[in-house]
Amino acid sequence: MNDKTKTYITLAAQAFLGLILGVMGGLNYFLGFMETPKPTPEAGAFLGAMAAAGYFFPFVKVVEIVGGLMLLTNRFVPLALVMLAPIIVNIFALHLFLQPAQLPMSGAMMAALVFVSVMYRKHFKTMFAFKAAVS
């Protein structure tokens, strides 16, 4: 695969994540323009516990919107990936263990996250320093 093709595929994966998280996930939470699937009882209990905290969902949805916009505009992409990775991993785990009906979409999000992260891997090298020095 040549560099131009890699760039286009990476940008498409970024756009996919940006649209799914930023628009469909984040904005829909605040504006309610799409119907969300009814959760299984187990997933509903888990989501209800997080909602009961009060701050959790608004905070996560703002992070999704900001991170999604960063991906869509191709700005601060490594930072966006670091911000969004825990959210995507937990969405995937929720669907893997508690609500498998949406597993294909969350699996696609997880695959896109891994792919884009691999494409930007040189920007993450310092995060994996065994013994980091204060600069």
* Total residues found in the chain within this entry: 135
Q: Which helix (H) or strand (E) holds 16?
A: helix 3-17
pLDDT in tens, 42-96: 999 999 999 999 999 999 999 999 999 999 999 999 999 999 999 999 999 999 9
> Is residue 95 within 8 Å of 106, Cβ to Cβ?
yes
Q: How far, in Å, CA of 80 to CA of 63, rounded?
A: 9
